[in-house]
Amino acid sequence: MKKMRAYFLFLLPFLLLSPIPLSTGADVTVNEAFGPIRNERNLSIVDGFAALKWGVSVEDAHKIYPDLREDSSKFYTQYYKGKKGPDGVYVFYVRNNENLRVGGHSLEPIEYRFLQGKFVAVGMGVSCDEDTPCNTEAIYQDIVKAIRKIYGKPYNLASRTYQDDATVSKTGGIEKVQEIEWKIEDETITVSKSVEPKFSSIDIFIFSYQGYFSATGQER
């Protein structure tokens, strides 16, 4: 038994140093943020999200996820649909019956965002209001803790407190936003929490410059 323990202790550093792929899971239930899920449909964050590689075309994405359909949410329809930004047009897609849990909390829907027809970003979140009350701070901390566990120290921490007259008259009080961002190679993960008197939300936004350069045709 002692020898077994000695062998194990000898091997432990090598096992710990061996690269373990970190994956994202969108079509499987995960209890920790972004894996590690040993599932062939889950790519590492530096390669893609779930089974979609950064920069993949809408057509190829449909072959992988036939249930991918254009988002019909108010947010997308109001702010993005058909609007041309400086880099082109964004189209958001969602899937049926996805179940992604980060830090023990369900985040839905997952928006697969395509720029100029190429996969560049993912958005997901939780919203709370008087009809659907929740502890925004606790959820935010759980999510941040889960992502820290995988990606460690963040690249940026930021907060915004809006206490100007325009915000107060619009929201009925002060609006507080907290943000934390990680940079992993060409990808960034941003978790933001916004709290107003009657509404609060937590959003996770994953953006890939790899996908962006592919969408904008910029040579690297």
Residue 15-54 contact track with other proteins, rule CB under 8 A, x = bound: x-xxx-----------------------------------
46's CB contacts (< 8 A; 6+ apart) are: 184, 185, 186, 187, 210
Q: Tell me the two tokens of residue 209.
A: 């410059």
Q: Which CB atom, from 63 or from 160, has the smaller least distance to other proteins?
A: 160
Calpha distance 14→16 (Å, rounded): 5
Select from 114, 128, 1 the least CA-distant residue to 57: 114
Calpha distance 211→50 (Å, rounded): 14
User: Is residue 130 part of the contact set for other proteins (CB under 8 A)?
Assistant: no
Degrees (nearest 5) of the Cα angle 134, 76, 112?
Answer: 85
| DSSP-H helix ranges across the chain | 2-17, 58-64, 74-79, 136-151, 165-171, 209-216
Determine the distance from the C-alpha atom of residue 28 to the mean position of all C-alpha atoms in its chain, rounded to a whole number. 15
Q: Please report how close the Cβ of residue 40 comes to other proteins at its closest, in angstroms.
A: 20
User: Is residue 108 part of the contact set for other proteins (CB under 8 A)?
Assistant: no
Residue 138-177 contact track with other proteins, rule CB under 8 A, x = bound: ---------------xxxxxxxxxxxxx-x----------
Q: Please report how close the Cβ of residue 65 comes to other proteins at its closest, in angstroms.
A: 28
Q: Please report how close the Cβ of residue 33 comes to other proteins at its closest, in angstroms.
A: 19
Q: Please report how close the Cβ of residue 57 comes to other proteins at its closest, in angstroms.
A: 21
Q: In this structure, are residues 35 and 27 in contact, taking their beta carbons and an 8 Å threshold?
A: no
Q: Which CB atom, from 75 or from 162, has the smaller least distance to other proteins?
A: 162
Specify the amino acid at residue 44.
S
User: Is residue 9 part of the contact set for other proteins (CB under 8 A)?
Assistant: no
Q: Which CB atom, from 84 or from 220, has the smaller least distance to other proteins?
A: 220
Span 182-211, contacts to other proteins by CB under 8 A: 183, 185-186, 209
Q: In this structure, are residues 198 and 171 in contact, taking their beta carbons and an 8 Å threshold?
A: yes
User: Is residue 4 part of the contact set for other proteins (CB under 8 A)?
Assistant: yes
Q: Tell me the two tokens of residue 34.
A: 């972004």
Contacts with other proteins: how many residues (CB under 8 A)? Answer: 32
Q: Please report how close the Cβ of residue 34 comes to other proteins at its closest, in angstroms.
A: 19
User: Is residue 10 part of the contact set for other proteins (CB under 8 A)?
Assistant: yes
Residue ranges that bind other proteins, judged by CB under 8 A = 3-4, 7, 10-11, 14-15, 17-19, 153-165, 167, 183, 185-186, 209, 213, 218-220
